[in-house]
Structure 1
Amino acid sequence: MSAAFDAAAVAQFFVQARAHRAKLDGLPEGARPANADQAYAVQDATLRAMQANVAGWKVGAKSPDGPIQGAPLPAEGVHGSGARLAMHAFGRAGLELEVAFRIGRRFEPGGGPYRDEEVLDAVESVHAAIEIVVSRFAAWPDVEKPWQLADLQNHGALIVGEGVPYDAAFPFVSPSMTFTLDGAALFHGEPANPAGDPRRLLAWTVNHSVARGLPVERGTVITAGSYTGLAIPDAPGVAVGVIEGLPVVELHFA
């Protein structure tokens, strides 16, 4: 008989890996999330074990009508533009340029379901954001998808630029942008979010959060998927994300 799934045990592996900047070779039997529900249980247990407040969410989908997945972001990993972070603290890390939304009201646990219009009405501002994507697994990206989801969806840190008021006319599907590291381009081609219009992810995120018993506090940032794909720098530098119509976001990766 296989061992019962133990979300708290998985969370301890992740918390210890974070604390010691270590990489996991795998997970033992009974600590291997096999589906999204088990992965979300691990996320919750990880937040409890870290005694972390939630300052944001990362959310995405692989296609414009595909299923959505997300992860809460610990407050300690959400930074303002100009943040200086040590590259060696993350190990092998990728950078993505994204559009993020700041929520201007509180959504209570157990509330909803909220309609798209209600959540859009609550968007206070829109921001350019750089996500640092990392994994606690040595074999990443060749890691089981539920394991990656359990690992806060490969989240390392989020750097959020200054915001502008929400404007429905902003070209969310394909904004004009550049993303560079010390002036060298980190992506080529036309920017595109695989989820299509990222606004379709917002109501899902709010409803998913409150259904899990996690309030969406005023000021929560929802970052809604990469437009540039994953760039893995091989040296430190200054990453600059420029999205037309939004303030510049900058990361000093030392």
Structure 2
Amino acid sequence: MIDETARHLIEARSTQRAISAAGFCPPDTQAAYAAQDAVARACGWFDEAPAGYWKSGGPSREAVLTHAPLPPDGVWSSPAEAGAWPFHMRGIEVEIALRLGCDVEPALALALKGNEAVKLVDAMCVSIEIVDSRWVEGLEAPALAKLADLQSHGALVLGPWVPFLQRDWLAQVCQVQIGAQPPVERRGTHSLADPAYLLPAWLRHATQGGRSVLAGTVVTTGTWVGILTASAGDLVTAKFPGIGDATVQL
């Protein structure tokens, strides 16, 4: 099933046509991650180097967090132009991305306790993830099928980097403007209450198999606004007062 799932995802990416997930859902989380790796190898995203960009997160601290390495050709600096990118859908997640300031070896990842991982981060920025799917079912596809498909990742836009400082995340405001839609504002709505909370789980996942995660690696940490709907031609702007902003033209 791993090979079949990966083969269909590779076909969907090569033809730019979504495929039904029916009958191709991985049986468990391990198989979904194996399908991620198989697609990455077939597409040549990382060659022999470790992934430089990741997404990680979950709906709550009680949930099992999930992770996905991101194709580097779909990571852009703000302001970004995405009008030519072949999206099937354009969901918008507005997030904070974190950047590692040092290499992290497997032993260090396993030893992390509490909030020790924040010491490994040197910078943060506002990020916009454009949610997309290679499955016809889109966000209604089975959870493990979505995990195999990089957790429905389409592209990532990164704003200017600023030094990482712990903040009162429960007081942090997030503002989003999508085209002519009414503006969206949220306060303290990160699902984990702190974007850095996921660092130990992500680093343990990313260092499996004896791999190190290199300095400069970026992880985007989950949406503050759920998934908002955008259309081709929309200008999307995300702002976190006190941190920065990011913009993408769809």
TM-score, normalised via structure 2 length: 0.90
Cα distance between partner residues in 2 of 1:68 and 1:24: 26
Deviation of residue 252 (structure 1)? 1.3
Q: Give the conservation status (yes or no) of the 8 Å contact 1:187–1:229.
A: no
Q: Give the conservation status (yes or no) of the 8 Å contact 2:58–2:66.
A: yes
Q: Percent identity between the aligned chains?
A: 28
Equivalent residues in 2 for 1:236-247, closer than 5 Å: 236-247=233-244
Q: Does 1:104 align with 2:98?
A: no
Cα distance between partner residues in 1 of 2:62 and 2:169: 16
Q: Give the conservation status (yes or no) of the 8 Å contact 2:25–2:142.
A: no
Which letter maps to 1:37?
Answer: Q
Q: Summarize the Cα distance change of 1:245–1:51 in structure 2 as closer, same or farther, 3 Å threshold.
A: same
212-221 or 238-247: which moved more?
Answer: 212-221
Partner of 1:166: 164
Cα distance between partner residues in 2 of 1:184 and 1:105: 41
186-195 or 230-239: which moved more?
Answer: 186-195
Partner of 1:198: 195
Partner of 1:156: 154
Q: Does 1:14 align with 2:12?
A: no
Q: Summarize the Cα distance change of 1:131–1:224 in structure 2 as closer, same or farther, 3 Å threshold.
A: same
Q: 1:125 aligns with which of 118, 123, 126?
A: 123
Query: What residue ranges of structure 1 are gaps of 5+ in the alignment?
Result: none
Which letter maps to 1:49?
Answer: A
Secondary structure at 1:184 match in 2: coil
Secondary structure at 1:226 match in 2: coil
Query: What residue ranges of structure 2 are gaps of 5+ in the alignment?
Result: none
Partner of 1:73: 70
Which letter maps to 1:23?
Answer: A
Partner of 1:136: 134
Q: Summarize the Cα distance change of 1:138–1:176 in structure 2 as closer, same or farther, 3 Å threshold.
A: same
Could you give the per-residue CA deviations for residues 137-187 of structure 1, whole angstroms, max 9, x where no partner exists?
A: 11122111101001011011110111111112x122441121002353453
Q: Summarize the Cα distance change of 1:52–1:19 in structure 2 as closer, same or farther, 3 Å threshold.
A: same
Partner of 1:32: 25
Cα distance between partner residues in 1 of 2:185 and 2:106: 41
Q: 2:143 aligns with which of 142, 145, 152?
A: 145
43-52 or 82-91: which moved more?
Answer: 82-91
Q: Give the conservation status (yes or no) of the 8 Å contact 2:78–2:248.
A: yes
Partner of 1:61: 58
Secondary structure at 1:40 match in 2: helix
Q: Does 1:95 align with 2:92?
A: yes
Q: Give the conservation status (yes or no) of the 8 Å contact 1:178–1:185.
A: no
Instruction: State the superposition RMSD in angstroms.
Output: 2.0
Cα distance between partner residues in 1 of 2:17 and 2:209: 29
Q: 1:228 aligns with which of 225, 228, 243?
A: 225
80-89 or 52-61: which moved more?
Answer: 80-89
Secondary structure at 2:248 match in 1: strand
TM-score, normalised via structure 1 length: 0.89
Paired residues, number: 245
Cα distance between partner residues in 1 of 2:111 and 2:12: 36
Q: Summarize the Cα distance change of 1:125–1:21 in structure 2 as closer, same or farther, 3 Å threshold.
A: same
